[in-house]
Structure 1
């Protein structure tokens, strides 16, 4: 199987993490993934990137199975149409491109048109959540029987977090983008400045302007010594293991892999009710609030910070929910069945 992936596969994000996990776990299901490297810049590629992607698809042999990451596939409609008859195309959709936070109306309309056209060429579609699957049926004309939901697995066994940080460490994992809502988290933490805590926001900064704005917000609140913008890390597992509470104020999620990893590590989780998150993060694991509601986020975090017993109970509930999540072998098995199907 040729796995078409744009940009740097090592990028520390949920989408790329999903791709890496599939590459690692599909061989046990009888499939070896050969990475078809596409240029960076997707989903807003320049002409050179589009030409290189077109050439990469053209070089594939007739009958090849191609699993294409939606970050690129959604704008490769012309390429997909040119090769749909000779290649076995399978689309992997984390969430529709037009749903990214901050996309203007004209761009969203263009992305919707191109992604709808590209998906029409795919023999099958893999989605990372039922919410995304429903979105593709309702808004992109994809028949439900062409879609398989393969939710992300988790890498760690569930176990209660010790919760013995002094002060407690609040961890947030996600790229420094508007969609991840780190500005809302910082506002909530500013309202809790009288309590004892420290916070680490872990993730790459694809948009320097967002990163600069977050740093300025932290400085304006006088929290430079308490909130660390840690950047990307080689071992996110160590971050989860060293934390006491997980909090992420996402405005939109295709699934929410960071929330799932936090549950798997037995961390109390304060989450936003976006996408499928409320479907697998139970309220008793820490708290579920509306997006862009800093006071509600502060209230949920404050309850955990003020009472260690509440924090311990939330950790037990989180570990219980984490134990119910699938592993990556389960995810890979579902994707492998899709690949088997397009060969028949």
Structure 2
């Protein structure tokens, strides 16, 4: 591994596009999670290429300070209800002279698809992007979420093109949502955009100094953060000193604190930290114990600074974000013993020689893949 990693396309601005487009993005907001970060990165890259980029935020949340340079913004915060927001998006088709509109996540996807139905033949090309594995989360979902997915399964197939965050998500879109294979593309996330040029962590592989389990996620049910405490307790029982450091905060913090106290595990909550990867100890291993993940940006971010990761194989989307035996390990099950085994194996890894793999997740590579999809959609003209 080089002393200071510079990934292709992360530093220099991209050259101008041969045929600039008017591209509109529809997103919930400009800040708050992985999808918002990806949207901002894509918008900034496309604007630097010379495309005319506009973003429409569907919530009333004030995130304008995160607006990328060269991007125009519209807020639908004043519009109440799904249909009102869809009508507002439909009206923006004309005022922005949009060639193609891109949305991210189910909420924005459904607003865009409804707007396209209202516009009929006057609608621009519509590209939606699904970021989550939906089926694994339906068993415990409330009625409103189930209704939203029922509608999505009938509308997603109407998009001119669908972008999946990972191959497991793509498989679900075909099998569960009826999306045609020739209208579906996996575009890798620009997951290294935050860490480009950063020096690797001075890690010491092995267990001689114990393990620092780093938990880089919101403390919510889907992420199953208390499994990190259970895993640390299992490692401690094996005679391996283990602590858990959490980045993200969330509603399960009290439960984490109680679980750590009851298990006798050292636990530190750092809250939300944007550059969480700057705070690794020399014995760090990242653990993402989620029940499902569309992808897992944090797994790539950790690898980019030389820190191995562990995730549960049944979370599915993480398989695109970890190279087992190279950048981390996939635990066979979510049992603490299996997670502890995976953390032990991962601790021995020296994460090196992965520059070619990381390039797949560079901003330039992701931006060019997205631009290629948009140009193909414009060129072939969808049969709606």
TM-score normalised by L of structure 2: 0.74
SS at 1:67 equivalent: strand
Which residue number in structure 1 is paired with residue 72 of structure 2?
none
Checking the alignment, whether the CA contact within 8 Å between 1:98 and 1:107 is kept in structure 2 is no
Q: Tell whether 2:346 aligns with 1:316.
A: no
Deviation for aligned residue 1:115:
0.9
Q: C-alpha separation between the residues in 2 aligned to 1:254 and 1:94?
A: 5
Which residue number in structure 2 is paired with residue 259 of structure 1?
299
2:34 to 3, 7, 14: 14
Checking the alignment, whether the CA contact within 8 Å between 2:210 and 2:283 is kept in structure 1 is no
Deviation for aligned residue 1:303:
5.1
- When the two chains are superposed, the root-mean-square deviation of aligned CA atoms in Å is 3.1
Which residue number in structure 2 is paired with residue 2 of structure 1?
24
SS at 2:268 equivalent: strand
Q: C-alpha separation between the residues in 1 aligned to 2:346 and 2:108?
A: 42
Which residue number in structure 2 is paired with residue 48 of structure 1?
80
SS at 1:247 equivalent: strand
Which residue number in structure 1 is paired with residue 53 of structure 2?
33
SS at 1:334 equivalent: helix
Q: C-alpha separation between the residues in 2 aligned to 1:297 and 1:321?
A: 28
SS at 1:266 equivalent: coil
Which residue number in structure 2 is paired with residue 233 of structure 1?
273
Q: Does 116-125 or 162-171 show the bigger shift?
A: 162-171
Deviation for aligned residue 1:338:
2.0
Checking the alignment, whether the CA contact within 8 Å between 2:224 and 2:291 is kept in structure 1 is yes
Paired residues for 1:98-247 under 5 Å: 98-100=135-137, 103-104=140-141, 109-153=146-190, 154-155=192-193, 156=195, 161-164=201-204, 168-193=211-236, 194-205=239-250, 208=251, 210-223=252-265, 226-239=266-279, 244-247=284-287
SS at 1:231 equivalent: coil
Q: C-alpha separation between the residues in 1 aligned to 2:120 and 2:140?
A: 29
SS at 1:27 equivalent: helix
1:329 to 352, 355, 364: 364
Deviation for aligned residue 1:258:
1.0
Q: C-alpha separation between the residues in 1 aligned to 2:372 and 2:269?
A: 40
Q: C-alpha separation between the residues in 2 aligned to 1:216 and 1:75?
A: 40
Checking the alignment, whether the CA contact within 8 Å between 1:267 and 1:319 is kept in structure 2 is no
Q: C-alpha separation between the residues in 2 aligned to 1:53 and 1:204?
A: 31
Q: Tell whether 2:121 aligns with 1:85.
A: yes
SS at 2:351 equivalent: helix
Which residue number in structure 2 is paired with residue 284 of structure 1?
325
Q: C-alpha separation between the residues in 2 aligned to 1:258 and 1:250?
A: 12
Any idea what the Cα deviations from partners look like across 1:236-284, whole Å, max 9, x if unmatched?
Answer: 3423587722111121111111111111111122221122323452332
Residue segments in structure 2 that go unaligned for 5+ positions in a row: 1-22, 62-76, 380-384
Q: C-alpha separation between the residues in 2 aligned to 1:238 and 1:188?
A: 23
Checking the alignment, whether the CA contact within 8 Å between 2:246 and 2:268 is kept in structure 1 is yes
Q: C-alpha separation between the residues in 1 aligned to 2:282 and 2:81?
A: 40
Checking the alignment, whether the CA contact within 8 Å between 2:213 and 2:228 is kept in structure 1 is no
